[in-house]
Structure 1
Amino acid sequence: MMKTLKEKLLQLKEKRKLYLLLKYISGAFLFIVFSILLLFSLVYFNVFGKLPDKEELTSIINEEASLIYSSDDIVIGKIFAENRTNIQLAQIPNHLKEALIATEDKRFYSHNGYDGQSYARVFFRSILLRDSSGGGGSTITQQLIKNLYGRQYDGVLSLPINKIKELIIASRIEKLYTKDEILLLYLNSVPFGENSFGIESAANRFFNKSVSELNIEESTVLIGMLKANTYYNPRLHPKNALQRRNTVLQLMKSENYLSQKTADSLQKTPIALNYHNLDLNTSAGYFNYQVKKKATEIIKVVNESSNNNYNLETDGLKIHTTLNYEIQKIAEKSAKKQLIIKQKQLDKELASNRLRNRWLKKQQFTQEDKQNRTLQLFDWDSTKTITGNKIDSLWYYDKMLNASVLVTNPKNGAVISWVGGNNFNTLPFDMVLSHRQIASAFKPFLYATALENGISPCDYFENEEKTYPKYENWKPQNADYSSTPDKKVALWYALIKSMNIPSVNLYFKLEREWLVDTCKKLLFPEITDDAPSIALGTLDVSLYEATRAYGTFANNGEMNDLYMIDKITDKQGNIIYESTTQEAKRIFTKESSQTLTTILQKAVEQGTGSSIRNRYKIKSPLASKTGTAQNYTNAWFMAYTPNIVFGTWVGTSKNDVHFTSGNGSGSSLALPIVANILKEIENNPELKNKYLTSFDIPEDIASSINCSPYREKGIKGFFNRLFGKKKEEN
């Protein structure tokens, strides 16, 4: 009896415990439900930040990069806050959509923006059972919201608040957009790493094709990256990417998008990557940088004048430029080829003349600068990794030869090609705009000034060395140290041979202000002193200024300012800016320009530019002039036809390191770059017919230089002229 009572008391006690437990559980459950409802209500009524309303959601527009096009319609660059190019629904292949749905959201077409089954799986497997393989609970719609609006930090409540926000916004979006429209928004917004956003940018980056051209294997690689875009990056981690791609293929098979046979077959194929990163491998980096600067100025004016608000970084504008992509590639290839050859020659000279020791004495280094470390240096084919110190790095770059090439159309000023240096990403300083001593490439402007002021190409000038006490006993010499005390030299011949002594004598025959005025018209830097050495090209001029000025001779005495942008359109193709025909500025008379061109054509045949015919076998009509600065510090070569002007400069970044032999002359260092460009153009019938056109110079002007290159001085010369000696030999 007593035992039965005890049992009953124990049972009663157990029931009470159970009742209390159920009470606590119910209370906790009700508290959790109440808390969730309260939190949901607080989020819904914008306590934790305003949620996008219907009007905002119906006007979702992904930011889009502006594209830079060459004149032959090649995309050569992008301007962006986020590297994104949006696509239309019709461009998305079915297999891409199927791969996305099979991998990210199997019930995409059946849920309303949130997936209850996924939430249950996440709660039980990922949270309660701590199973990291349980997967995430976000639908494609919710992932889209995360891509568009990001997530904010609210302390310990960050995760539930952000999940509730995504759930609410997802349900709103599902009421406003079709499922396929949501897929499109998602694919246009999703990040793929490497500062690349949207499926079109990813397709271009990793496979160098548009999204509409992707095959199943490529689509599954890109969809596989969505789980972890760095870990599954096919360039950085090809094995991980291959494994993930095959997982996506199996998921597609599980959802019956692929047969087992097709899935197995595709899994055996390697990833055929065709990596194309405009940021790293751009063929026109220096040009694109200038285009961005110009386009920014243009858009600012357009916005102010039309009350618009265009944004270069976000509005997907299309910038159509003057650059010819084919010639740009030729110019870059030609510069690279020449510099690789000449760098070896320079390194050999530097090793033998102990210039590095003299260079070291001019530097100031700390003890830290002398400590060795791993250095990554620019190399033509790839980044060069060496073990060295800061001194080694500085010497490497100080002795590095750089080249700049500028090609323009003299008739309108359009920039056809712009090579600002060896590599824009590692060496961004633009040598096209760098001011360097122009050397003998300046002489045509001196001689054209003389022609403008009544001096004939058959006037003769002294070619005898002379000292000028007024100018600190300056004694100019010809480059080959020759002189002809008993003979004078004709103006035309002095120019084609680039003689210094006759050029100085010509300078003194002119009014100095005439030359200063010419330079001012050509928009050269101001001449601030009265040194006669200006006649030999001591003025510092940029390749940009020099090429524009040579265009004056090609264009019969009229100079056009250079420009790079033909037009800008919005993403729908509406023109918002279009360049207008500029009025050329008259610098020289047509007759003077044609006479000067006749002389410079002669320089190609038998003067300083003759190797372009003799060695490189260039047959096209051409006028040219070389330039070699003192001590071989700067090498120039300028050439033109009526439809194209070529300018190139070669040298080191500083004048401290340079050739000490004729290997550093304009004809040896700079001329071959233009010669190789010309050779490629001659082999292309379309480019040849367009640019390598003949000069149309009247016979009387062409024959105006048909006089003897030398004239003997004194009585002998007088009698030779009196009795009609026709030609005096060199």
Structure 2
Amino acid sequence: MLKLKARYLKFKKRKFLFRMFKYLTILVVLGIGMLVALFALVYFNFFGPLPNKAQLSGIINEEAALVYSEDDVIIGKIFAENRTNVKLSQLPQHLKEALIATEDKRFYEHIGYDSRSYLRVLFKSILLGDKSGGGGSTITQQLIKNLFGRNYNGVLSLPIHKIKEVITAKRLEEIYAKDEILLLYFNSVPFGENIYGIESAANRFFNKSVNELKIEEAAVLVGMLKANTKYNPRMHPKNALQRRNTVLQLMNNQTYLSDKANDSLQKLPLILDYENLNLKTTAGYFVYQVKQKTAEILAEINEESDKNYNLETDGLKIHTTLNYKIQVIAEKAAQAQLMIKQKQLERELRSNNLKAKWLKKQESASVQLAADQKKRQLSLFDWDSTQTIQGNKFDSLWHYAKMLNASVLITHPKTGAVITWVGGNNFRALPFDMVLSHRQIASAFKPILYATALENGFSACDYLENEEKNYPAYDNWRPSNADHSSTPDQKVALWNALIHSMNLPTIDLFFKLEEKQLLDICKKLKFPAIDNNSPSIALGTLDLSLLEIIRAYGAFANQGNMNELHLISKITDKAGHIIYENKVEKAERIFKAATCQTLTAILQKAVAQGTGSKIRNTYHIKSQLASKTGTAQDYTNAWFIAYTPSIVLGTWVGNSKNDIHFKSGKGAGSSLALPIVATILLAIEKDVQLRKQYLTAFTIPDEIYASLECPAYKEKGIKGLFNRLFKKPNQK
């Protein structure tokens, strides 16, 4: 009976096992059938088109445009994706070995997909739950994912993606050699921080090209591919170091590294040379202007030809006129001056309690006061660093309202090339470009008026009234000199009035000229239209940009000829073929050469003994220079412009709004703006090459200088006549 029962149980067990095997077989067959069906649906594009061989043959990765300075420094990138492609010959062998050891050690053996890897994933990773089993995607499949992305297909997304990548990877391997696939991979793989491709990553984290990467540096970048945020060496250096050593060990496992080399490399510290052109502000304002101008140039090229250049993806090389060395000098000079003057301004503001008055005005104008007063975390740019504070909207507004700003523009007057462009304090934090901002030009306008007079028959030794008086036709306007001096019994020579920037003689000169003469010159100089005839424009009440006034002074430096300013010298495609080259247009004649020579001789005197004398006395600059200061009413805007025949330098300094400013001479052009230009000039003068290139001597005839040899003042009336009749020949 027991034997019978045992046989029955054995039979029942066999029957159960047979049934289970049957069901399992059916499930396997169904699974295989469904997989085959799914494969067929994917293959025949039911879930979206697959790239065919023709499309795969034409793969071209998007590539950022690079912006170069005149002295061949990369100063910016313009991109949709921050990518710079490299050639196969530029990939170091140890970089390729690091990738293969880490991501796909059978890369040279499989045909695009690796069946053994899929079996490993199935049994080790999925069935046994061993996370160390790794993934099943080959480098080729990862490349497909990088190039074409993945679409959402519900619960079937993962198998559909894998099938698509298997099919496309096999097609890709039928077209490209293995090393070409590695190149495509390295040029397309993302590294976080909106950068793509190994060259951009090498530039970002090690400030070098890919062919210069050391083994340990290559291991850092390859290690990032597992999780580019978690293993970002700047953000998470400990994670990156650990991951780097894992990559080195994997290279050792595959015999790419000896035990000795592996041990020594793993002991090295993680050393970065982080270089992010987006975070740095050097030439940021300039690069933005270059981007705008390049877009215009490409639009014209595309319209006039059958080309279709894309600024953000075609890997163009934009060669500019900017001198990087002088750009850095200018930015540092502006920063150093503003850091000193900011402290002085804030002391003045505290002494007159302006902040409380200013805040009260802002709060009274607020339409949502409660929301504006709500405290929150604020990141505010400051010269020392970007500071984070707890504050409200008004705190942020006050921080930037009290901040002094500076812009610097330097050009070559003979060509109009822009040598330096500093649009403000920090492009990322304060992107508004002060080079283009219109501000009251103050006495920096006076040379325009005096040049107009010289152009229309006046001489440097004509004498002008220096007496205060009312002008009834202009609401009893009563101008005065800056120091409130006047000489009712004496007239002042035109040259002396200009070098000391005297207001009263300037107004007298304005009334001696025909109004149309000045307006015509302003129109030729492409200043904004002047819609009133107020004599105050002679003193600089006109609003001009730094760009407009520097372009105008370029005419003084260039014998009366004014060039349009330009920023781009040429543009090439990524193969190096020139697609655009700037052709300097013929300069427009604004003044006679003799007019500019006389004016320049006067402005040289301004450096020697007038408003620009700090150039010599304080900064001890020896080069020949002509210069002019400008100080707007109430010290709201400070200007200083200097030039030689080969360079024009100008700066503006002030607050963003006119309601906050210095109340004393500390805000004058000679105190606030001049030091920036002087510091730049001093650095240029100390550099032999730059000095020879830009600080060239004036070639003004001796008779021009002789035409200024007349007394600074002349007495009026009988006493003056007597002195003129009976003075000694050498008496002035």
**Given the two structures, how large is their TM-score scaled by the length of structure 2?**
0.98
Q: Is the 8 A contact 1:651 1:658 kept in 2?
A: yes
In structure 2, the residue matched to 1:415 is 418
Q: Could you tell me how far apart the structure 2 residues matched to 1:28 and 1:416 are?
A: 75
Could you tell me which of 621, 627, 650 is aligned with 2:624?
621
Q: Could you tell me how far apart the structure 2 residues matched to 1:457 and 1:727 are?
A: 19
In structure 2, the residue matched to 1:516 is 519
Tell me the SS of whatever aligns to 2:445.
helix
Question: Counterpart amino acid of 2:479?
Answer: P
For each residue in 1:329-348, what CA deviation from the matched residue of structure 2 results, as whole angstroms up to 9, or x when unmatched? 11111111111111111111
Could you tell me which of 523, 526, 538 is aligned with 2:529?
526
Matched, 1:193 2:196: no
In structure 2, the residue matched to 1:204 is 203
Q: Is the 8 A contact 2:491 2:714 kept in 1?
A: yes
1:143-222 alignment to 2 at 5 Å?
143-222=142-221
In structure 2, the residue matched to 1:658 is 661
Could you tell me which of 487, 490, 493 is aligned with 2:493?
490
Matched, 1:474 2:477: yes
Q: Could you tell me how far apart the structure 2 residues matched to 1:726 and 1:482 are?
A: 30
Which has the higher mean CA deviation after the structures are superposed, 66-75 or 12-21?
12-21
Tell me the SS of whatever aligns to 1:367.
helix
Which has the higher mean CA deviation after the structures are superposed, 101-110 or 387-396?
387-396
Question: Counterpart amino acid of 2:406?
Answer: A
Matched, 1:645 2:644: no
Tell me the SS of whatever aligns to 2:278.
helix
In structure 1, the residue matched to 2:554 is 551
| Count of residue pairs the alignment pairs up | 728
In structure 2, the residue matched to 1:452 is 455
Matched, 1:425 2:428: yes
In structure 2, the residue matched to 1:80 is 79
Which has the higher mean CA deviation after the structures are superposed, 467-476 or 127-136?
127-136
Report the CA distance between 1:81 and its aligned residue: 0.6
Question: Counterpart amino acid of 2:634?
Answer: N
Which has the higher mean CA deviation after the structures are superposed, 301-310 or 225-234?
301-310
Tell me the SS of whatever aligns to 1:266.
helix
Question: Counterpart amino acid of 1:691?
Answer: Y
For each residue in 1:388-423, what CA deviation from the matched residue of structure 2 results, as whole angstroms up to 9, or x when unmatched? 222111111001000000000000100000000001
For each residue in 1:253-288, what CA deviation from the matched residue of structure 2 results, as whole angstroms up to 9, or x when unmatched? 111111111111111111110000011114111000
For each residue in 1:359-385, what CA deviation from the matched residue of structure 2 results, as whole angstroms up to 9, or x when unmatched? 123213412222322221102232112
Question: Counterpart amino acid of 1:442?
Answer: F
Tell me the SS of whatever aligns to 2:707.
helix
In structure 1, the residue matched to 2:596 is 593
Question: Counterpart amino acid of 2:421?
Answer: W
Which has the higher mean CA deviation after the structures are superposed, 14-23 or 80-89?
14-23
Could you tell me which of 368, 371, 375 is aligned with 1:368?
371
Q: Could you tell me how far apart the structure 2 residues matched to 1:356 and 1:494 are?
A: 39
In structure 2, the residue matched to 1:711 is 714
Tell me the SS of whatever aligns to 1:635.
strand
Question: Counterpart amino acid of 2:396?
Answer: S
1:54-133 alignment to 2 at 5 Å?
54-133=53-132
Question: Counterpart amino acid of 2:726?
Answer: F
Q: Could you tell me how far apart the structure 1 residues matched to 2:109 and 2:472 are?
A: 96
Q: Could you tell me how far apart the structure 2 residues matched to 1:286 and 1:19 are?
A: 78
Question: Counterpart amino acid of 1:672?
Answer: P
Q: Could you tell me how far apart the structure 1 residues matched to 2:281 and 2:671 are?
A: 29
Q: Could you tell me how far apart the structure 2 residues matched to 1:588 and 1:112 are?
A: 75
Tell me the SS of whatever aligns to 1:705.
coil
Report the CA distance between 1:728 and its aligned residue: 7.9
Change (3 A) 1:539 1:727: farther
Tell me the SS of whatever aligns to 1:278.
coil
Q: Could you tell me how far apart the structure 2 residues matched to 1:266 and 1:16 are?
A: 62
Q: Is the 8 A contact 1:77 1:288 kept in 2?
A: yes
Q: Is the 8 A contact 1:708 1:726 kept in 2?
A: no
Matched, 1:278 2:277: yes
Question: Counterpart amino acid of 2:604?
Answer: Q
Report the CA distance between 1:704 and its aligned residue: 1.0
Q: Is the 8 A contact 1:77 1:282 kept in 2?
A: no
Question: Counterpart amino acid of 2:477?
Answer: W
Tell me the SS of whatever aligns to 2:279.
helix
Q: Could you tell me how far apart the structure 2 residues matched to 1:157 and 1:4 are?
A: 52
Tell me the SS of whatever aligns to 1:488.
strand
Question: Counterpart amino acid of 1:245?
Answer: R
In structure 1, the residue matched to 2:50 is 51
Which has the higher mean CA deviation after the structures are superposed, 85-94 or 465-474?
465-474
For each residue in 1:600-636, what CA deviation from the matched residue of structure 2 results, as whole angstroms up to 9, or x when unmatched? 0110000000001000001000000000000000000
Report the CA distance between 1:123 and its aligned residue: 1.2
Q: Is the 8 A contact 1:99 1:248 kept in 2?
A: yes
Tell me the SS of whatever aligns to 1:280.
coil
Could you tell me which of 555, 572, 576 is aligned with 1:573?
576
Q: Could you tell me how far apart the structure 1 residues matched to 2:43 and 2:281 are?
A: 47
In structure 1, the residue matched to 2:539 is 536
Which has the higher mean CA deviation after the structures are superposed, 2-11 or 25-34?
2-11
Question: Counterpart amino acid of 2:184?
Answer: L
1:285-304 alignment to 2 at 5 Å?
285-304=284-303
1:231-270 alignment to 2 at 5 Å?
231-270=230-269
Which has the higher mean CA deviation after the structures are superposed, 51-60 or 128-137?
128-137
For each residue in 1:525-583, what CA deviation from the matched residue of structure 2 results, as whole angstroms up to 9, or x when unmatched? 11111111000000000000010000000001110000011111111111111111211
For each residue in 1:300-338, what CA deviation from the matched residue of structure 2 results, as whole angstroms up to 9, or x when unmatched? 111111210111111101111000111111111111111
Change (3 A) 1:293 1:469: same
Q: Is the 8 A contact 1:76 1:282 kept in 2?
A: no
Q: Could you tell me how far apart the structure 1 residues matched to 2:93 and 2:475 are?
A: 82
Report the CA distance between 1:386 and its aligned residue: 1.9
Question: Counterpart amino acid of 1:451?
Answer: L
**Given the two structures, how large is their TM-score scaled by the length of structure 1?**
0.98
1:345-424 alignment to 2 at 5 Å?
345-363=344-362, 364-365=365-366, 366-424=369-427
Q: Is the 8 A contact 2:112 2:166 kept in 1?
A: yes
Question: Counterpart amino acid of 1:487?
Answer: Q
Tell me the SS of whatever aligns to 2:711.
coil
Report the CA distance between 1:4 and its aligned residue: 4.3
Which has the higher mean CA deviation after the structures are superposed, 128-137 or 224-233?
128-137
Tell me the SS of whatever aligns to 2:643.
strand
Report the CA distance between 1:148 and its aligned residue: 0.3
Tell me the SS of whatever aligns to 1:68.
strand
Q: Could you tell me how far apart the structure 2 residues matched to 1:459 and 1:39 are?
A: 96
Structure 1's unaligned 5+ residue stretches are none
For each residue in 1:609-666, what CA deviation from the matched residue of structure 2 results, as whole angstroms up to 9, or x when unmatched? 0001000001000000000000000000011000000010000111110000110000
Q: Could you tell me how far apart the structure 1 residues matched to 2:584 and 2:517 are?
A: 30
Q: Is the 8 A contact 1:291 1:565 kept in 2?
A: yes
Q: Is the 8 A contact 2:281 2:426 kept in 1?
A: no
In structure 2, the residue matched to 1:436 is 439
